[in-house]
Structure 1
Amino acid sequence: MAVLKILIVDDEVLERKALTKIINSSTPDVAVIGEAPNGRKAIEMAQEHKPDIIFMDIKMPGIDGVQAVKEIKKLEPGIRFIMVSAFNTFEYAKEVMQQGVKEYILKPSSKKDILASLGRVADEIIQERKQKEEQQNLKKNLDRAVSIAQKEWVSSLLVNQVQDITFEEWSQLLGVEITYGYIMLISLASQNSDLSREEKQERYLWLKEELKSISKKHEAVVGPMTDMQTAVLFLGQKATEKANFKTNAVAIIENLNSLYQKRFQSELRIGIGLPYNRANELNKSYQESVKALHELLKVPFRKYLFGDKQGSAENAGDAGILEAEKRLLDALREGDASQVLFDFDSFVKKLTGKETDRSFIKKSFEEMFILISRMLHELGINYERTPSIDEGDNMMTVIDTGKSHLMSVVHHVQVWRNNQAKGMLHKAKEYIENHYGDSLTLEFVAEYVGLSPYYFSKLFKDRFGMTFIDYLTEIRIKQAKTALLDQEKSLKEICYSIGYKDPNYFSRVFRKQTGLSPSEFRKTAAVTAEN
């Protein structure tokens, strides 16, 4: 049990010393942590030390004990008081009783009376702490049980096995009316991302915590994480909000993605299913979110897509339009002018062939311009000009505006690829060669050279014919071979010096690269040197 802290307040130094001696010698569970000669000093020390109990003299010059109690109660309401006075008057007792003070002892007090009063207050504090701790443990266990139950329920609805719980029952459990629900499938990173188990768990727990504060209009129930993807069930409270669920969903996504990018220097990709009024229909929403995320992952710059009842990506039209848009962005990134023109024509044909609504087509062009702007930003190309489309523009004007913009973008990409990109990649390669012994990640090196992880990875492989991980591994194994020639160095020492944390993993990677274990390589090298 924690020691209770006591503050003694009295304008008479002998009274303070006597009380301190009695209390400190009485029990190991209490200790005097300070003495104050007046009310003003008592207020300062109460704020600084936050004692559990204060022995407060009533009659003191300046701020008296009653005034001091009132001020301290405002600042630290949890502190208990034992009033000490040479005046046995009802008015004094009445004033401090109004402040919640229960103990009142007279000067001179016997040791027995002092300790009895202290014991009653201490027992009250200890009992309160026990009750609070029990309540906290109970709440913690209840929250954990509810969390497990919710996770299991989400898992059940994903495989379409939810038959035994309704929105009415969820309303009773959560204490709010639930009228509809929908699923977001959130990808926290690529399945093959080089993250440790602890890092993956950290991101998952972060998501659960942030959703509590972000999704104010919904109850968010987070399911288990599989291959860095997590299904989140959003339960809506007002039927009138269902029609605007996309607006609310986008607000949640943009807020969440902004926080995630700041914390992990990475972005979420999210597929969203449609809302349903019955719990046993939520599997449909999940299937829609799965298909939407599948389509989304084909396009590098989109952060989220809504699914429709047929499972296609509603925001991008059908799969043909989405694929044409992806090819167009890829051609722009490569700086291939002829391919850009070809893919732009294909995009326009598919878009106008499916849609006749002029406002929708204009909106699709504006969205494409935004995607291009994001792509340029990710590449590190400073190109701020984005064309505007007026309401009165006819279709040919819109198409010509788009084509002109694309040609201007291609030119800037070509200049960038011929100059800056080469320099950035060689800068990255040089950094890897000088820091192979550190815990390097693709994201860190990409940030170092000012490229997005996605494009850094793509450009690195295009330029050097191997992935970032393969190149880093090649450098580390090369250094390991050199280090193994020194018989004085242990395998563990070599492992750590080249950037690996696990000697067993280092041995597996070394064998995969060379066909020999580190020990076998060292023996072979030693025999070769002797001959």
Structure 2
Amino acid sequence: MKERLSAYEYRKGGIPMRILLAEDELIERKAMRKFIEENFPDIEVVAEAENGRKAIELAAKKSPDVMFMDIRMPGINGLEAIEKINTENPAIKFILVSAYDSFDYAKEAMRFGIKDYILKPGRKEEIVKAILRVQKEIEAEKMQQQERIQALGLRNERFITELMHAPLQESTLMMQKDLFPKIQSGCFFVVKHGAKLAVENSLQSFEKETDSQFITHQVEDIIVVCFLASTILQRSDISQVARRLQQKLGDAVYVGIGSPTALFVEMPKSYEEAYEACMQLAADGKRQYGFLTKGKFQQSDEDVITRIEAIVEKGQQEETSRLFQKYQDKLTSADKEDLYIRLKNGLISRNIAPPAISFSSIKANQDWYTYLHLCSSKMREYYQSKSFMEQAKKFIHTHSQEAITLENAAASVNLSASYFSNVFKQEFGMNFIEYLTMIRMQKAKGLIEENVYSLKEISFMVGYKDPNYFSRVFKKYYKESPKQFQQAILRK
């Protein structure tokens, strides 16, 4: 019956919690602690308080998720302690414990949103249910908080992406006023050879010191940082931030700096400068951070074509368009034809069908953007497919002894069955069933050679429930039955 289930069985799927016990009766307090620790392995009792004053001190120090609070304690009583704690940390949940069944106490407790009121001596069932209710409430609040953070993250992602590209839309400026109403100026950093998480961790201390905000965004192999300040930024200020950021990230990292501006319509220009400065620093290899040095970073047409080709081969659509836009007027018709041929050959060499667009039909710059976008998309799909097929391969090897299907394998990499089937055959030169059979037969052959299990056991171990069918498949694959194969081994 349900009454006989342990507390732990009640709380399957619950989240970890930190609990503080405030109870003036030592025996009651220790008994409660023992019950919680024995039945709720994921719950930690972080402290015990013998009176209201101690409860207030420990709540500030330990920041528990939940407090079991006795109402009548010497000095400051439970309700007074709750009022004080609630003011300092309203996130803490309270479960009241009292020997008195008083409506007045319950009514007073409702002021602080307290929903659980346990009468002493509390039955274990009541304690379990109270804990489960609070767990469920905390879990719901955490999910809501995660959703809010994700929504804000998506808005920040959209904001920084729009700030990187000119001309700025009116909606971007409205978003800035909504998200960052106190911002007076900003600029961009571009970090090469850095990890996004390491960059974000390094920027946290700067936010506290400078009263500024940073938004990060990964663009292929670089990290873009948008620096937003509530004051007017000076070049010396952001140079110091860039220097400290680079020092935290290490000598292998380059940090390009864009000019600070109080006009948000100029933020795309700051990004362009930061990007070019970063590429300049990486090519020069003498400094790890700094602004763009004008006139020093001139590239030949050959260099530009090679860079565009390299970026397309990585499937970096955004950077491909940005780079071509920067140099489009400097490239001759011969340069562009050379670029077209290189990209086409690069796709063909990987058995990728190039876009059905002839060179003669690419006339305007917009035509080039379309062509480059298509080439980059095909390259990205190619590398994604390679990655997906490696994941699918691992899935098949891990689950080959199970009754897996093409649909199972496709679902494991979030692809449709039809698309997965086509890509799989292209990658491995055989269809899914042929590949699965090959894996199973190789495992069966190895198990027979070990001479530890019976043929019937091996049949089940490699995924065949019918030993006769397993025997037929094995014979078709190796030109002899499992029994014949086994006997041949034993004769050696």
Category of TM-score, reference length = shorter chain? 0.3 to 0.5
Structure 1 length normalisation: TM-score?
0.38
Higher gyration radius (CA): 1
Structure 2 length normalisation: TM-score?
0.40
